Structure 1
Amino acid sequence: MNHQNLLHDSADDLGPIRVFDDGQYRILSFAEGDEQSRIRLSTPHVLQHEYTQAMMLPLLFCEPKRVCILGLGGGALLHALHHSVPAIHLTAVELRQDVMDAADMHFKLPRGKRITLEVANAIDYVAEGLPKKVDLLMTDLYNTNGMDRSVLQASFIKNCADNIKEDGWLALNCWVDDKYNQELTNIIKIYFNDVRALDTGSGNWVIIAGKRMNHDTAKALKASAQKLNDILGFQLTKWLSRLSMI
């Protein structure tokens, strides 16, 4: 990570919050050598981290009108969805007010009447119930110690499912170690009928799960991915080719 210019340096009870800029990219960091979020200043909607790109795969299986993102960070997923899906309603939930403030100040967050930003504990937020069920729920919960392990709990997966429409999808970002977590897979399969995953090759295991089984052929999915490549600004087909049923 290029630390040419430190734009923001603060801390809260959960640790440091730093924003770096090298003239081309804006980077949010929670720990030394860590990148929590990265945007390209000229095209903030084009996802830079591989796991976030993979988390866009549910767009092949649904056309979401309402999405909830658990874990705002620098707002990369918010940018991508706001840019690529017309008339979408987006809610992003962030635990830390200071992170929300840094994202708002330094990461060109899109704003509008269809965007809601909430400062709340995401685990509690889904347990209490979303204001409206969503077509797509994305979880990217991360802190100074790494991925929030709460997302692996049966209660969290159930609460996610309860807040997703009957034809909706979940995108869950995990560490690659969870590739072999059969208990997690079994829990997800209790609530979701179509469960797929991929190893991004960069340390992440991304699971996408649908309430209903999708029967589109590989050819049809590839054609849909090719249409989205230009809109998203990266090769979604790359991640589709790695996606498999689990």
Structure 2
Amino acid sequence: MSEFKTLYQSEDAYGPLLVLEDKHMRVLSFGDNDEQSKLLKAEPHLPQHTYLQAMLLVLLFIKPKRVIMLGLGGGGLIHALRHYDTGIKVTAVELRSDVIDIAKRFFQLPIGKKLTLIHQDAAEFLAQADHKKVDVIFADIYGADGVDESQLSECFIKNAAAMIKADGYLVLNCWKEHSQNRTLLSLLQLHFDDVRACLTGGGNWVVLASKVKKELSISGMKAKAHCLSQQLDFTLGRSLTRFDHWV
């Protein structure tokens, strides 16, 4: 990212924090050659990473009123959901207080009554179970070295499932390598009846797990994806071609 200039730099107990930008983009980084979040400054609602686009496939199956996001980053997912439906109540849980401050200061985080920001470890937040049940939990907990392994643990998945409504979804952002993790699949199948996944062009393995099977024909899914793409202002077609049941 040599073409980017450093707009902000600091360090906390977990490592460095950098905000980089060029004429069009702003990037949150946790280290060298690391890109945690990327924002198109003129249109912040457009997800710049394919994994965020894939995570939004959950909107094909449910129209959420209340969601939890575990891992805030620059708030790209919040921007996309706000554009889709301003009425969604979002609770975002973030371990690093500086990340929350950076998202507010540099990433146009849409502060308001519908957004609750919590400075806490995500696993501890789930274990406390002190929150209303939600329609969707988005888990995107990453550091400079990759996915936080706690996000893949039995305790985490069990506690997340307990906080999701009967027809709700857990959406996990993982690495491509996790597509071969049969233990993770088995853990998900203990708590969810329907487990699907999408391999993104960026090398992520995005999992959608539901307690209730919701079958859509290929033609029906394509039709819904077309309508949803118009609402989100970007095409879901690329993610949809890589999306299927995880078995």
Give 4+ residue runs of structure 1 displaced > 4 Å after superposition: none
Give the share of equivalent positions with the same residue, in percent.
45
Q: Which residue of 2 aligns with 1:43?
A: 43
Partner SS for 1:171? strand
Q: Distance in 2 between matches of 1:216 and 1:145?
A: 37
Q: Which residue of 1 aligns with 2:162?
A: 162
Letter in 2 for 1:135: D
Does structure 2 conserve the Cα–Cα contact (< 8 Å) formed by 1:74 and 1:103? Answer: yes
Letter in 2 for 1:10: S
Partner SS for 2:8? strand
> What do you get for the CA RMSD once the two structures are aligned?
1.0
Normalising by structure 1, we get a TM-score of 0.97
Alpha-carbon offset, residue 51 of structure 1: 0.5
Q: Which residue of 2 aligns with 1:146?
A: 146
User: Which is worse superposed, 216-225 or 49-58?
Assistant: 216-225
Letter in 1 for 2:90: L
Partner SS for 1:47? coil
Q: Distance in 2 between matches of 1:41 and 1:230?
A: 20
Alpha-carbon offset, residue 130 of structure 1: 4.1
Does structure 2 conserve the Cα–Cα contact (< 8 Å) formed by 1:130 and 1:163? Answer: no
Q: Which residue of 2 aligns with 1:174?
A: 174
Q: Which residue of 1 aligns with 2:210?
A: 210
Normalising by structure 2, we get a TM-score of 0.97
Does structure 2 conserve the Cα–Cα contact (< 8 Å) formed by 1:3 and 1:20? Answer: no
Q: Distance in 2 between matches of 1:167 and 1:130?
A: 20
Alpha-carbon offset, residue 201 of structure 1: 2.6
User: Which is worse superposed, 55-64 or 235-244?
Assistant: 235-244
- Equivalent residues in 2 for 1:1-246 (5 A)? 1-246=1-246
Q: Distance in 2 between matches of 1:234 and 1:82?
A: 14
Deviations 1:162-216 (A, max 9, x none): 0000000111001111000001001101111111011113121110011100022
Letter in 2 for 1:133: K
With over 3 angstroms needed to count, the CA separation of the structure-2 counterparts of 1:109 and 1:187, relative to structure 1, is same
Does structure 1 conserve the Cα–Cα contact (< 8 Å) formed by 2:49 and 2:202? Answer: no
Q: Distance in 1 between matches of 2:142 and 2:184?
A: 18
Q: Distance in 1 between matches of 2:2 and 2:123?
A: 33
Q: Distance in 2 between matches of 1:224 and 1:198?
A: 17
Q: Distance in 2 between matches of 1:215 and 1:50?
A: 24
Letter in 1 for 2:226: Q
Q: Distance in 2 between matches of 1:174 and 1:240?
A: 17
For structure 1, which runs of at least 5 residues remain unmatched after alignment? none
Alpha-carbon offset, residue 123 of structure 1: 0.9
State how many pairs are aligned: 246
With over 3 angstroms needed to count, the CA separation of the structure-2 counterparts of 1:2 and 1:228, relative to structure 1, is farther
Deviations 1:79-100 (A, max 9, x none): 1111112411011111000111
Does structure 2 conserve the Cα–Cα contact (< 8 Å) formed by 1:136 and 1:170? Answer: yes
Partner SS for 2:166? strand
For structure 2, which runs of at least 5 residues remain unmatched after alignment? none
